[in-house]
Structure 1
Amino acid sequence: MWALRRAENTHGRVTRAKIVVGIDGSSGSIAALKEAARMAEATGSWLDVVACWNVPTSMAVPYALGTVEFEKGARQLLQDTVTNTFGMQLPENMSTTLVQGQPRQKLIEMSDGSDMLVVGRRGYGGFTGLLLGSVSQACVAHAHCPVLVVNAGKEFDGSGHDH
C-alpha cells in the first residue's frame, strides 16, 4: 500500500505531500490528471499539473524565432486540459506549471522533492514504442520518487476497445 509521507519543516509544522502530474493533452495524460487529482483529494496532497514545451529541433534557430508561439500553445493546452477536466471550479489544492524543455528530463527533475509522479501512457508498444521512446518509461527508470503510470483504457480511446 502506497502512503504519502508528511514532512516537518524547521518550524515543526507538517507540510503537505506533493503529487506532480505531467500532461500533454493526450487521453493518457487526461486519465493521469484525473487519477492524480483523486489521489491528491484523498490524501490531502498538493497537486502540481505540469506541461512542457520546447521548440522542435528541426525548427531551432540561433535566436529561436517563433519561440513565443510554442510557449503560447503549450500554455493554452495546459489551461484547456485543466478546465476541460475540472470545469471552471478548479481544485483548491492544485497549481499549474509550464516549463520549457523535454518532458522526460523536466518531469524527472520535478520528481525530486515530490512524493509521487503521475504520468499517462500513450500505449505505443513493441517496435513503435522503442522507436519513439517513452516518457513514462524514462520516469519509471529515473524519477526521484514513486511513479504511477496510468493507462487511458476504454474510457478515453473513444472506440470502446482496449488497445
Structure 2
Amino acid sequence: MTKRIVVGVDGSVGSKAALEYAFDEASRRDASVYVITVFQSAGMFGAHYGMPISISEEDTAGQIRCQIQALIDELLVGRQTKPEVRLSVRTGWSPAQILAREAEAAELLVVGHRGLGGFSSALLGSVSLQCVLHASCPVVVVRLPRARALEAEKDRLPATEAVPGYAASG
C-alpha cells in the first residue's frame, strides 16, 4: 500500500503553503499526495435558507477543480521529485469532517492555519482546529509568518472569490 499524505486546499494563502509543505513531506516520505477541497454548493446553501438557487453544482465543482489543479501544477514546476497527486473536489457542510475521514489511513493530514472564511484575528481556523481534534493520524497545521501572510493575502487565487459558497479547508 502506498503511503499517502492528505492536504486540504481552498485557494487561500495558508492552504497554498500547506500544499507546498505536503509536496515537500511527500518527497521525504516517498508518499503520494491526496488534495481535497470542499465547497458548499449554492443549492445546499439555498436549501438551508429556503431559497431556490439554480447554479449548477457540476459547473461550480469544475471551476474549482480547474483553479486547484492550476495551483498544483504551479507548485510542481521545478521540483526535482514530483509526487503522485490526486485531486478530489467535494461538496459538504463540514470540510474538517471530510478531511479527517479521508485521512484515516494516511501518514499525515496537512492544513493551513487560516482559510478563506471566518475571523482573520483567530489564532487557528475552525477547520484546522477540528482536524487537530478529530483526525486519527498526525496533523500538521502550516502557519505563515504574519507579515508574509498579510502580503500574500493580496495575491490569493482571485477566482475563488467568484465561486458562490466556496469555503473549504484551512
* Cα displacement (A) at 1:142: 0.3
Equivalent residues of 2:118, 2:125 under 8 A apart: no
Equivalent residues of 2:27, 2:83 under 8 A apart: no
Query: Which 5+ residue runs of structure 2 have no aligned equivalent?
Result: 153-170
* Cα displacement (A) at 1:125: 9.5
Instruction: Tell me the amino acid that sits aligned with residue 73 of structure 2.
Output: T
Q: In terms of mean alpha carbon deviation, does 118-127 or 108-117 score higher?
A: 118-127
Higher RCO, Cα 8 Å, sep 6+: 2
User: Taking structure 2 as the reference length, what is the TM-score of the superposition?
Assistant: 0.70
Cα root mean square deviation, aligned: 3.2
* Cα displacement (A) at 1:141: 0.2
Equivalent residues of 2:6, 2:35 under 8 A apart: yes
Q: Any idea what SS the aligned residue of 2:122 has?
A: helix
Equivalent residues of 1:52, 1:74 under 8 A apart: no
> CA separation in 2, counterparts of 1:70 and 1:113?
29
Q: 1:6 — aligned with what?
A: none
Equivalent residues of 2:41, 2:60 under 8 A apart: yes
* Cα displacement (A) at 1:129: 3.4
Q: In terms of mean alpha carbon deviation, does 66-75 or 23-32 score higher?
A: 66-75
| Pair 1:99 & 2:86 matched | no
Number of residues of Structure 1 aligned to a counterpart in Structure 2: 144
Between Structure 1 and Structure 2, which shows a larger proportion of strand residues?
A: 1
Q: 1:121 — aligned with what?
A: 113
Query: Which 5+ residue runs of structure 1 have no aligned equivalent?
Result: 1-14
Quick one: structure 1 residues 34 and 142, their matched pair in 2 at CA, closer, same or farther if it must change by over 3 Å? Answer: same
| Pair 1:31 & 2:21 matched | no
Equivalent residues of 2:26, 2:83 under 8 A apart: no
Give identity over the alignment, percent.
31
User: Taking structure 1 as the reference length, what is the TM-score of the superposition?
Assistant: 0.73
Instruction: Tell me the amino acid that sits aligned with residue 54 of structure 1.
Output: Q
| Pair 1:59 & 2:49 matched | no
Instruction: Tell me the amino acid that sits aligned with residue 77 of structure 1.
Output: Q
